[in-house]
Structures are given as C-alpha cells and as structure tokens.
Amino acid sequence: MPILRILLVRLLTTAITLAGVAVIVFFVIRVVPGNPIAMMLPPGATEEDIARLSALYGLDKPLIAQFGIWVSGVLQGDFGTSITTRQPVLDLVLGRLPATLELSIMALVMAMILGGAAALTGTRYRGGRTEGAIDVANGMALSVPDFLWGLVLILLFGVLVPVFHISGRVTPSLDLPFTTNFYLFESLLRLRFDLWADIVAHMFMPALALAIPLAAIIGQLLKQSLKETMNLDYVTLARTKGYGETRVILREALRNAALPTLTLVGVQFTFLIGGTVIIERLFSYEGLGNMAIDAVINRDLPLIQGIVILFAVIFTAVNLIVDLLYTVLNPRLRHG
C-alpha cells in the first residue's frame, strides 16, 4: 500500500523538518538586535522596569533554557503568549489561519483555471497566432512579481474602475453571523450570498495578484507537456477513431500531460503561500502574513515563532497532498 508508506515516511521527515525549523527560527530571531520589552514600554521606562518585565516573559534566562521551556510548551500544545497582545499565540495564529488558507486556495483555483485555459487554448491552436499571443501574455505575467501585480490591480480595479475592494477581508459595517473564521466557506454554507459576494469582492484582487505568476507557470508548463503528449502514438490512434482535436486534447492528452505539471504546481503553491505575507499587507487583509509582519515589527518573539512553525506545517502538508494526488492520478503508482 504505497499511500500508507508515503504517509509514514512523510510523518517522520515532517517531524525532523519541523524540529530543524524550530531551532533555526528560535535562535535567529534572538540574534537579530531589538528588545521586545523595550519596545513595549513607554519611552520613560527605567532599566529596572525592563528587567522586571523581561523576567516575567522568561527573557532573562539563558537562551538554551528559554529554548527548552518553549519546546516543552510546544510539545504540550502551548506556543506561549504573544508579548504585544498578551493572548495565547496558538489562538492568535489559528484565528488568522482560515483567512490565509482561503486566500491561498482561491488564488490556486484562479491560477489553475487561468493557466489551464491558457494551456488548452494554446495547444488547441498551436503553431498559430493564438499560441503566440498566449506565450507573450505568459511571459509578461511571469516577468512581474505578485506584489507588483497587486499594485497594478489596485490601480485598475480599485482606482480607475473601482469594482473591487482594495482593503480588508469584509466590509466592517456588516453583521457577521459566523462561528468560524472561514468566512468564504461559511457564508456559502449559510447561503448568505450577500456576504459571500462581499467577501469575494475583497479577496478577488489579492487572490488574482497571487494567481497571475502561478497561472503563467502552469500555462507554460502544461502547454509544453500537452504539445509533447499530442505527438504520442495513443493520441494519433485516437484521431483515427474519429475524435476531433478538442476531444483528443481533453480525453487523451490532458490527464497524462497534467501529471508532470502537478509536482511543480505543488512547489509553486508553497511559494504562493509565502507571497501572501506581502500581498496581505498590501491589501490590509487580516491573515497570517499580515500578522507576521506586525509580529516582526514589534519583536513579538513567541508570535513570530508560532507563525513560522505554522507556515512550515502548511508547506509540508501541501507537499504531502501533492504526492498523494500524484499517486492517485498515476495508475502505474497506484498498483505498484
């Protein structure tokens, strides 16, 4: 049962990876200058005040001891307390996670739709002007990073033709009946399409900005792969059966061509999630990334640690999902 084996191996490597991440993040952020306590206190605070508060947060102990305390807490599900907000890190981080997940997944879906459409159209009309136009568009999309696309989109659809919201996750004056922070998902479940539309209008531009570069990568890679597949014998055989070009692409080529693209999309998706940090800031979207920047500015060490660990968990989870998908889609592996 290869899926079970993958899961077991993954569990082990994940544990090792997370341990490594924990060590690195813990010590690196303590090497960087800047005292969180000093930043918290009003300008007139004395050395004594600082020392007392440092002791309260355990920051007066030797680094190794601090690390031990933190790790043993984490192993019991206690990620410590945020220095700036004095709330449990775990609550803060999990509270923001849904916003970032929804944004990333929406961006991924957009990228797959846009990139898939570009690849299919380019393959269908390969060798012609349409394919040339798609290649040019792909090249442009790739040569501009996501946060610049964010700015372009703000100018276009926030200022020039203001159809989407440029900041926040939902209009603040709205009454939200939600019990979870998965606003997009929950509004659908509750059939509150008015709220759903408002949330989408907020998410649309940040998601699109994240999606554009990934869409271009998917478009190029999938098109290349499709074009190669279209020359294979089984595709030719399908043509002799009477299938037209479009059906040949969709029935015979797409699935086999999608496999090599899938692995790369997995890696690229983790980059996309990394991109949320700046994009969320740009659009004042209340997600993990935005919180991460605040945490860094305030030297909120426990919070930074919590966010980094969570991002590491998300990345490994994405890679695991991609591997499993690959196994499911490839009959050779499924029975191997």
Partner 1 sequence: MSFLSIRNLSVRLKKGPSLLRRVSLDVAAGEVRGLVGESGAGKSMIGKAVLGILPPSIEVTGGEILLDGVDLLQLPPAQRRKRIGATCALIPQDPLTALNPSHRIGPQITDRLVDILGWTRPDAETRARELLAEVQIADPDRVLRSYPHELSGGMRQRILIASAFAAEPKLIVADEPTTALDVTVQKQILKLIAGMQARHNTALLFVTHDLGVVSKVCQKLSVLYAGMVVEDATVADFFAAPRHAYSAALLAATPKYTDPSAGLQPVPDAVIAAVQAEVAAFDKGLAHG
What are the DSSP calls for 168-215, one per residue? SSS-TTSPP--SSS-HHHHHHHTT-HHHHHHHHHHHHHHHHHHHHHHH
The smaller minimum CB distance to partner 1, of residues 252 and 300, is found at 252
Interaction of residue 331 with partner 1, rule CB under 8 A: yes
Q: What contacts 210, CB < 8 A, 6 or more positions away?
A: 103, 104, 107, 111, 146, 272, 275, 276, 279
Which one among 50, 238, 264, 325 touches partner 1, defined by CB under 8 A? 238
Interaction of residue 255 with partner 1, rule CB under 8 A: yes
In whole angstroms, how close is the CB of 192 to partner 1 at the nearest point?
Answer: 40
Interaction of residue 250 with partner 1, rule CB under 8 A: no
Interaction of residue 252 with partner 1, rule CB under 8 A: yes
Choose the stretch contacting partner 1; rule: CB under 8 A; options: 8-16, 158-166, 235-243, 294-302.
235-243
CA distance 265 to 154: 26
The smaller minimum CB distance to partner 1, of residues 54 and 224, is found at 224
Which one among 156, 201, 232, 324 touches partner 1, defined by CB under 8 A? 232
CA distance 125 to 191: 40
In whole angstroms, how close is the CB of 97 to partner 1 at the nearest point?
Answer: 35
Interaction of residue 234 with partner 1, rule CB under 8 A: yes
Question: Are 320 and 10 within 8 A, CB to CB?
Answer: yes
Which one among 239, 262, 263, 324 touches partner 1, defined by CB under 8 A? 239
Interaction of residue 127 with partner 1, rule CB under 8 A: yes
Choose the stretch contacting partner 1; rule: CB under 8 A; options: 33-41, 103-111, 252-260, 261-269.
252-260
Span 157-186, contacts to partner 1 by CB under 8 A: none
Q: What contacts 56, CB < 8 A, 6 or more positions away?
A: none
Which letter does DSSP use for residue 88 in this model? B
Interaction of residue 125 with partner 1, rule CB under 8 A: no
What's at 165, amino acid-wise? H
The smaller minimum CB distance to partner 1, of residues 125 and 182, is found at 125
The smaller minimum CB distance to partner 1, of residues 238 and 267, is found at 238
The whole-angstrom distance between residue 24's C-alpha and the CA centroid of its chain comes to 21
Using alpha carbons, select from 287, 304, 116 the residue that is nearest to residue 206.
287
Choose the stretch contacting partner 1; rule: CB under 8 A; options: 63-71, 93-101, 248-256, 311-319.
248-256
Interaction of residue 242 with partner 1, rule CB under 8 A: yes
In whole angstroms, how close is the CB of 201 to partner 1 at the nearest point?
Answer: 39
Question: Are 333 and 2 within 8 A, CB to CB?
Answer: yes
Question: Are 156 and 190 within 8 A, CB to CB?
Answer: no
Interaction of residue 237 with partner 1, rule CB under 8 A: yes
Interaction of residue 327 with partner 1, rule CB under 8 A: no
Using alpha carbons, select from 150, 170, 28 the residue that is nearest to residue 102.
170
Interaction of residue 243 with partner 1, rule CB under 8 A: yes
Interaction of residue 128 with partner 1, rule CB under 8 A: no
Structure tokens at 37: 């306590």
Q: Taking the CA atoms of 180, 276, 281 and 207 in sequence, report the sign of the dihedral they define.
A: negative
Interior angle at CA 290, CA 289 and CA 293, nearest 5: 90
Which one among 197, 236, 321, 328 touches partner 1, defined by CB under 8 A? 236
Residues that bind partner 1 (CB under 8 A): 127, 231-234, 236-244, 247, 251-252, 255-256, 329-332, 335
